[in-house]
């Protein structure tokens, strides 16, 4: 039986991974014993784990990944670490980058040091395509140097480099994943899809940055978690794996789809000033994870988006209390 420490396991992506692992939906994780470490800040939510609250295979520890003593206590006896915990919202990082550096860089370093000390077998560091910067044409493969443009993405790029350095220096079996934009149930309503959906369900306008022509690749959170599980089970130590969804849309195109799904017209769009340093286009080449590990997205975008809108429509009790914090 495998013991896994999952950081940020009460957040959007981490909780999806925990629920799927405990439900037997992820490759190689049947019967795993899971310890979730989460600080339960504004975006970490016990309610995200309510569907598995009675499952005997896991426990939740409330705490900070930068707390070396706590991390050392929890790391003892673990076979693997899946590191989701991070400050992730670009706008928040623009207004104040200190917490992003503390959590994303220093917190990751604390985890890596402890993993080396306790001889953990596998460490998957979950990152983002935003570390590559912006690309006008084509797609980034994993050999592309990092060129981040926001305090958030710079802090994630720093943590990526630390993780890879701990592999080279200490032999820690680290793999790094870099995903495209996630969407799905339980996403905190500061991100585009849940913010726009909940606004539309409440009769509010949706704030679209600039001209809306920024391009993103969209990845259902369950596909992302499946990719992370494949990397945990078979990824090469020291390797980076891009995880994409295969659906590139401008923000305007996505907005129009959300308007249609909510049964409202374009009069709900409110154009707002673009964010500083807004990257124009992200696009990852995920050939490596496809050819090496057999990854394929399984959720068609239109079906996934419709199901996501329906989930927010039927789960007001989950998101309404969070709007104050968003």
- Helix, strand or coil for residue 96? coil
- pLDDT tens for 28-66 read 998 999 999 999 988 889 999 999 999 999 999 999 999
In the chain, the number of structural domains is 1
| Domain-located, residue 119 | yes
| Domain-located, residue 232 | yes
Does residue 128 have a pLDDT over 80? yes
Record the tokens describing residue 55, joined without a space. Answer: 């499952």
List the 3-7 sheet strands across, edge first. Answer: 58-62, 33-38, 3-7, 80-83, 122-128, 174-179, 240-243
Does residue 224 have a pLDDT over 70? yes
Please state whether beta strands 247-250 and 215-220 pair in parallel, antiparallel, or not at all (unpaired): antiparallel
| Domain-located, residue 234 | yes
- pLDDT tens for 159-205 read 999 999 999 999 999 999 999 999 999 999 988 999 999 999 999 99
Burial of 102 (0-12, 13-18, 19+ CB in 10 A): middle
| Domain-located, residue 298 | no
Strand partners, 33: 3
Q: What percentage of the chain reaches a pLDDT higher than 90?
A: 85
**CA trace torsion 154, 208, 212, 104 (10° rounding):** 10
| Domain-located, residue 294 | no
Q: Degrees (nearest 5) of the Cα angle 7, 10, 16?
A: 95
The chain-wide mean pLDDT, for the chain, equals: 94
d(CA 79, CA 127): 21
| Domain-located, residue 159 | yes
d(CA 307, CA 98): 36
| Domain-located, residue 290 | no
Active site residues: 129-130, 152
Does residue 98 have a pLDDT over 90? no
Does residue 306 have a pLDDT over 60? yes
279 confidence band (pLDDT: 50, 70, 90): confident
Q: Which residue range is the domain that position 117 belongs to?
A: 3-182+220-243
Q: What's the predicted TM-score (pTM) here?
A: 0.95
- Domain CATH for 126: 3.40.50.720
| Domain-located, residue 81 | yes
């Amino acid at each position: 039986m495998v013991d896994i420490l999952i950081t940020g396991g009460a957040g959007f992506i981490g909780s999806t991974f925990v629920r799927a692992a405990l439900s037997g939906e992820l490759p190689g994780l049947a019967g795993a014993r899971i310890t979730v470490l989460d600080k339960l800040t504004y975006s970490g939510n016990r309610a995200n784990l309510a569907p598995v609250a009675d499952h005997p295979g896991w426990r939740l520890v409330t705490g900070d990944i930068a707390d070396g003593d706590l991390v050392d206590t929890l790391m003892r006896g673990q076979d693997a670490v899946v590191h989701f915990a991070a400050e992730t919202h670009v706008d928040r990082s623009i207004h104040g980058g200190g917490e992003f550096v503390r959590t994303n860089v220093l917190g990751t370093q604390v985890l890596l040091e402890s993993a080396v000390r306790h001889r953990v077998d596998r460490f998957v560091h979950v990152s983002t395509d935003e570390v590559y910067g912006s690309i006008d044409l084509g797609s980034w493969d994993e050999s592309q140097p990092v060129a981040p443009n926001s305090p958030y993405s710079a802090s994630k790029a720093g943590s990526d480099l630390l993780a890879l350095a701990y592999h080279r220096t200490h032999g820690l079996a680290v793999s790094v994943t870099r995903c495209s934009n996630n969407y799905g149930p339980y996403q905190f309503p500061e991100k585009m899809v849940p913010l726009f959906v909940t606004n539309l369900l409440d009769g509010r306008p949706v704030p679209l940055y600039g001209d809306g022509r920024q391009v993103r690749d969209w990845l259902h959170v369950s596909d992302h978690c499946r990719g992370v599980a494949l990397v945990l089970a078979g990824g090469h130590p020291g390797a980076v794996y891009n995880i994409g969804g295969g659906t590139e849309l401008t923000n305007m195109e996505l907005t129009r789809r959300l308007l249609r799904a909510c049964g409202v017209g374009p009069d709900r769009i409110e154009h707002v000033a673009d964010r500083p340093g807004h990257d124009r286009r992200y696009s990852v080449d995920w050939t490596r994870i496809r050819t090496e590990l057999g990854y394929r997205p399984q959720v068609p975008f239109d079906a996934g988006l419709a199901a996501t809108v329906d989930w927010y429509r039927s789960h007001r009790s989950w998101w309404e209390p969070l709007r104050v914090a968003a």
